[in-house]
Amino acid sequence: MKTIYSAPRGTNDILPEDYKIWQYIIDIAIENSEKFGFFRMQTPTFENIELFKRSVGDGTDIVQKEMFSFKDSKGRHLALRPEGTAAIVRATIQHGLLNSSLPLKIFYIMNFFRNERPQTGRYKEFYQFGVELFGAYSAIAEFEIISLAYSFLNELNVKDTNLNINSIGCQDCRKNYVYSLTKYFEKYKEKICENCKNRLYNNPLRLLDCKEKQCEEFKLNAPNILNYVCADCKTHFNTLCNFLNLNNIPYSVNPYIVRGLDYYTKTVFEFVTNNLGAQNAICGGGRYDDLIQKLGAPSTPAVGFGVGLNRLILLLKNKIKINYKIPHIYVGATDEEALYKASVIATNLRARNIITQTDLMSRSVKSQMKYANRIKAMFSCIIGKNELTKNSVNVKSMSGEENFNISIQNFAEEFERILKN
């Protein structure tokens, strides 16, 4: 249908057919999170802009170019949340959740906003399933959340994914690496892309994350961060690898995985696919031991990940068969008096969790039966003057010759017995 209005560029509508896949993914996300002992949280859609500047980093693309920010009527500078970790950390600090028994395990399913150039699987409003684990210093914490992500993707039967892991070291050992990386790329600063020219001094690690062809050749000979990590960070990373090996979770060590946010320390990882073009990461995360202290609370180790739900829908659409709920019964009517009775029957049926549809369009009996077929109702019946007089109605199986004569007075109770048999 032609309309003078369209959704803003970079956004997309989730239509009923896609929402079936959407709900399927969310149900599995919840099921897997609860299986690992995580509890769900929700934060406001917008936050004080300083939260993201301080946590994500002033030099990141997100803060410099991608946030949707605005001032309210009292001049307070706010921003639509561009990512989940900072908001979850703010909430846990504000409500004293870190004072309870640790580890604290949180998961969320929320929408986020970034003013990025739209591509396949990348939108200005997007949705993520994410988890955050607070309080554990050991590499088993990274293993725990990687296992959750691995279990989630496996249960969805997402094919052709690879787990890439890396260590970007702690704040101390990373300084030497950033210095060497900057010196290396300075030799090519006239040849790298414009984004990388800006990153060279503002956010040098992101030079390794660039997807532009003109930068690829320079990345290949760049210093390897794993040669710069300290003994403690190296031991931590090796311990994670041991956990993954022991539990048969395949992975590759990829020194180019750095993630785009300032708060990451030590382990970073991504699950990537070859089926989405340039936007190939469907899950990414890592450790961020310094963020909580940076936001004003006592130092607390933390690790988490986010999964792009929009990208999962693109991957799974037309590839999975979902058993959708169909109506147990269609209750039709021939006139207004019968329609009143049909509405009472439908209310009583739905109170027993029986999926019921009735006529809302004043269709003819023939059209009502066609509609009942189209929605694949298991049973149907039509109430008219004769049925009201006899106080009974004939219920027909739509897939066979079975017919049941049911009392209108006790319709819900008797039909429930038919379903159970």
> Tell me: the pLDDT tens digits for 335-349?
999 999 999 999 999
Choose the final residue of a domain: 316, 337, 361.
316
Put residue 288 in one of left, alpha, beta given phi > 0 → left and psi -120 to 50 → alpha: beta
User: Containing domain of residue 280, as a range?
Assistant: 16-170+229-316
Q: 306 and 348: one domain?
A: no
pLDDT (tens digit, 9 = 90+) per residue, 233-252? 999 999 999 999 999 999 99
pLDDT of residue 279 exceeding 70, the answer is no
The yes-or-no verdict on residue 3 having pLDDT over 70 is no
CATH number, residue 347: 3.40.50.800
- Our count of domains for the chain comes to 2
Last residue of a domain, one of 261, 295, 316: 316
Identify residue 158 by its one-letter amino acid code: V
The tens digit of pLDDT for each residue in 254-266 reads: 988 887 667 889 9
Residue 283 within any structural domain of the chain = yes
| 301/333 same-domain check | no
Supply the pTM of this predicted model: 0.86
What average pLDDT does range 17-34 have in this prediction?
92
Q: Domain check: are 33 and 57 in the same one?
A: yes
Domain boundary among 286, 316, 346: 316
Residue 278 near residue 211 (C-beta atoms within 8 A)? yes
What interhelical angle do 16-35 and 309-316 show, nearest 10? 120
Q: Report yes or no on 1 lying in a domain.
A: no
**Is residue 137 packed enough to be buried (19+ CB in 10 Å), middle (13-18) or exposed (0-12)?**
middle
Q: What is the CATH number of the domain that holds 251?
A: 3.30.930.10
Which pLDDT score is estimated for 232?
Answer: 96
Residue 208 near residue 222, CB atoms below 8 Å: yes
Per-residue pLDDT of 154-210, as tens digits, reads 999 887 889 999 999 998 888 888 889 899 888 888 888 888 888 888 788 888 877
What kind and span of H or E run contains 372?
A: helix 365-374
Residues 366, 311 share a domain: no
Q: Is residue 207 part of a domain?
A: no
Mean residue pLDDT across the chain:
91
The confidence score (pLDDT) of residue 215 equals: 83
Question: 11-40 burial, b if ≥16 CB within 10 A, otherwise e?
Answer: eeeeeeebeebbebbeebbeebbeebebee
Residue 188 lies in a domain: no
- Is residue 288 scored above 80 in pLDDT? yes
Laid out side by side, the sheet with 356-358 consists of: 356-358, 329-333, 379-383, 392-397, 403-407
- In angstroms, the CA 231 to CA 253 distance is 18
Same-domain check for residues 143 and 57: yes
Whole-number pLDDT of residue 205: 83
pLDDT of residue 99: 92
